[in-house]
Structure formats: C-alpha cells, structure tokens
C-alpha cells in the first residue's frame, strides 16, 4: 500500500495523466467572464462532486496546474492544498454563500482578539502589540468597534460591529468566502482573516498574532515536537489559502 503524509490508511491513486494545461472555458461564452479550466491530457479536471474545476483568473488556474504537475507516480491530495480549497468552494460553498458568510460573522462575534489575558504582564503586552492594530484597522476601515474583555467569559459584541463586518463580506463569491473561512478557522480569528485578505496585515504577521498565547507558553515551558509539526502543517494550509486569494486579484 502506497501512502502519503497523513494518509496511512488510505491508498493513493496512481498518476493517470501526462500533460497538465490551462485554457479559457469558451462554453456558453464563459471566456468573456474570465473562467479558466484545468485540463489533464486535454480533459477537464473535476471536483469530488463531479463539477468542472474552473476559476476566475489564469494566474490561479496556473497555480493549480503546478500542483498537478508536481505529482509523482501517485497523486497525493495532501500536497495540493490550493486544489483542495478550490474543490471545497465549488462543491461546498457555491450556492451556500449566505450560510458561510453568516458563519464567518459568528466567528467575529467571539473573536480571539477580543479575549485578553489579565496576566502575566509579558503576555498582556504581547497580545496588545499584535492584536490592537487589527482592532484599530477594523474601526477605521469598517467602522466596526469590537469590545475587548479580560478572561474567557463570553462578551457580547455590539450589533453595529457585527453588521459592519457582515457588510464588508456581503456579496463575496464562493471562493473568497472559502478562503476567508479557512483563514478564520486556522487562526481562530475572523478579524485576522479579513485584515489579511484586505492587505492590512501580512500572512506572517497574521500567523504570529494568532499564536501569541501559544508562543508565550513555548517560551515558558518549551516546545512540543508533535504540536510543532501540526502547527507547521496548518501554516502551509494558511499560506495556500492566502495564495489562492492573491491569485484571485491577478
């Protein structure tokens, strides 16, 4: 049985194609709308749900093509994170945009950045240094004023703040929402996810901000190798989602 990382119980399919290419989908005039297909030996790639893999920019389509070209004798989905995101958007988000957007807004209602430690002082300062600029951006860019509290007791965010956040992502297409949702779940913060996709914070800074508490604990007690490996895998997923979003802008 041949497997890839994280696939110890599941055999990987053999590579069945030689050439990977990208072309404009001309069916129904879609090329004018900027729809680009991924082809294997001239045949359209399909999602697990049997829909054609088609994206809005040639840059993103080419990025997906590179993942498929990089496959060796076997096809390992774990090495194609951008393809996974696009498949999820097509199969799981398209047609459910309102539900997914509401879920992201719900995350903002209990956002990581709004729950602060009351000590020790080094952790308090670290949270403030990484998180306060993002909250300031939310106020200035969206007019969204989120409430910050110490401890873990639930804090109710103002309706106005959540409405401003919801307005910012209103009308977003399936793939953008899929990226936002992925970034949100990976960081625990819808505010970090949105700030990053709006160019207010880099991928590295967003990732660091999401791990202020964890990094403080590592400084105090040392690093667990297994946890470090999981974190590195999540970071690769974060970078893939960020890359997909950037490619949508091209």
Stated pTM of the model: 0.91
Residue whose entry in the numeric block shows the structure tokens 């829909």:
51
pLDDT at 152: 81
pLDDT at 31: 41
Going by C-alpha positions, the residue among 193, 184, 231 that lies closest to residue 211 is 231
* Residue ranges of the chain assigned to CATH 3.30.2180.10: 1-77
Q: Which one is the CATH code of 97-249: 1.10.10.1800, 3.30.565.10, 1.10.287.3510, 1.10.3580.10? A: 1.10.3580.10
* Residue ranges of the chain assigned to CATH 1.10.3580.10: 97-249
Please list, residue by residue across 175-184, b when 16 or more beta carbons sit within 10 angstroms of its beta carbon and e when fewer do: bbbbbbbbbb
- Which CATH number is associated with domain 1-77? 3.30.2180.10
C-alpha 95/C-alpha 156 separation (Å) is 30
C-alpha 38/C-alpha 45 separation (Å) is 6
Query: Mean pLDDT per 10-residue run, the chain (250 residues)?
Result: 46 96 69 75 96 94 98 96 97 97 98 96 98 98 97 92 98 97 98 98 98 96 94 97 95
């Amino acid at each position: 049985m041949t497997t890839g990382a994280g696939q110890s119980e599941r055999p990987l399919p053999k590579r069945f194609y030689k050439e990977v290419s990208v072309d404009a989908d001309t069916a129904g005039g879609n090329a004018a709308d900027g729809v680009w297909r991924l082809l294997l030996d001239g045949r359209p790639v399909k999602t697990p749900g049997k829909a054609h893999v088609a994206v809005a920019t040639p840059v993103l389509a080419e990025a997906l093509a590179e993942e498929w070209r990089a496959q060796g004798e076997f096809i390992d989905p774990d090495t194609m994170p951008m393809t996974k995101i696009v498949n999820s958007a097509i199969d799981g988000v398209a047609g459910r945009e309102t539900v997914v957007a509401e879920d992201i807004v719900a995350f903002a209602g209990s956002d990581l950045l709004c729950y602060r430690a009351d000590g020790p002082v080094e952790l308090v300062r670290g949270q403030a240094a990484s998180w306060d600029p993002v909250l300031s951006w939310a106020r200035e860019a969206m007019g969204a004023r989120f409430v910050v509290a110490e401890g873990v007791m639930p804090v109710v965010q103002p309706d106005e703040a959540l409405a401003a956040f919801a307005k910012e992502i209103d009308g977003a297409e399936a793939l953008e929402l899929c990226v936002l949702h992925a970034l949100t779940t990976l960081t625990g913060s819808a505010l970090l996810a949105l700030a990053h996709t709006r160019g207010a914070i880099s991928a590295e800074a967003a990732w660091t901000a999401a791990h202020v508490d964890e990094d403080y604990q590592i400084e105090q007690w040392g690093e667990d190798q297994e946890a470090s490996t999981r974190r590195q895998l999540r970071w690769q997923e974060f970078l893939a989602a960020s890359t997909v979003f950037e490619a949508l802008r091209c």
